[in-house]
């Protein structure tokens, strides 16, 4: 049996390393933000084109705030709202209509918050379909949503994971606050052939 080579990638927000520098450093994909229009961290159509021209796969995550107070406490209704806006931003960036999107849960939830977060994921799936629904978060978030069969894609961060990984998560954020080409980046690894990258095709 042929071993699968783990792909290495990065994610970043406001800083922008050049696509060429990303490739030279040995990375094959980037995770970029879909965010409310005008946000300084948001992916643009021009940037997406440059990344793809450099041979980099693109993965997208939606984050307005990603916290409990502004976003996740809104449950299903907020999830549906965000999925609608994320799909619009994906199209504006030239992304394929069938591309999966991750949605950020950028904190470590308490047990009492998990049902509402599950509702948020249900709202996302209501708009995008379960096959395109992914979530970013720590071990508690990722495991709960996979167990409830509310997400197809998981991007697990080392933060809030207490040294444990859920093997169902296709992406892992393994290091934060690194530097590349003068930009602040986080380091990621892909643990499945399909990890939500644009235009993935099984071969």
Domain boundaries, the chain: 7-190
pLDDT at residue number 72: 98
Alpha-carbon Rg of the chain, whole angstroms?
A: 16
| pTM more than 0.85 | yes
Tokens matching residue 131: 């096959």
Name the residue with tokens 């892992």. 172
At 2 the pLDDT is 42
- Identify the pLDDT of residue 203: 45
Q: How far apart, in whole angstroms, are the C-alpha atoms of residue 3 and residue 17?
A: 31
Contact by Cβ (8 Å): 198, 14: no
Distances (CA, A) of 29 to 35, 110, 164, 196: 19, 32, 24, 11
* pLDDT at 201 (0 to 100): 79
**Could you give phi then psi for residue 79, rounded to 5 degrees?**
-60, -45
Phi-psi bin for 177: left (phi > 0), alpha (psi -120 to 50), beta?
left
User: Which residue ranges in the chain fall short of pLDDT 50?
Assistant: 1-3, 203
- The pLDDT of residue 37: 81
What is the reported pLDDT for 202? 60
Please check whether residue 123 is in contact with residue 76, taking contact to mean a CB–CB distance below 8 angstroms.
yes
- CATH superfamily assigned to domain 7-190: Glycosidases (3.20.20.80)
Helix axes 139-147, 114-128, angle to 10 degrees: 60
């Amino acid at each position: 049996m042929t071993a699968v080579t783990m792909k290495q990638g990065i994610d970043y927000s406001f800083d922008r390393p050049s696509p060429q520098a990303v490739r030279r450093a040995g990375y094959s994909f980037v995770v970029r933000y879909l965010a409310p229009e005008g946000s300084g961290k948001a992916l643009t159509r021009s940037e997406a084109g440059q990344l793809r021209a450099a041979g980099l796969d693109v993965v997208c995550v939606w984050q307005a705030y990603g916290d409990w107070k502004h976003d996740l406490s809104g449950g299903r209704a907020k999830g549906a709202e965000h999925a609608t806006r994320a799909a619009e931003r994906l199209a504006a960036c030239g992304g394929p209509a069938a591309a999966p999107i991750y949605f950020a849960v950028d904190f470590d939830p308490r047990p009492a918050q998990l049902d509402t977060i599950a509702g948020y994921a249900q709202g996302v799936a209501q708009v995008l379909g379960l096959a395109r629904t992914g979530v970013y978060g720590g071990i508690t978030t990722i495991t709960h949503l996979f167990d409830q069969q509310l997400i197809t894609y998981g991007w697990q961060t080392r933060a809030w994971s207490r040294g444990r990984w859920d093997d169902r998560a296709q992406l892992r954020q393994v290091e934060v606050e690194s530097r590349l080409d003068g930009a602040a980046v986080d380091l990621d690894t892909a643990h499945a052939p399909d990890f939500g990258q644009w235009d993935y095709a099984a071969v």
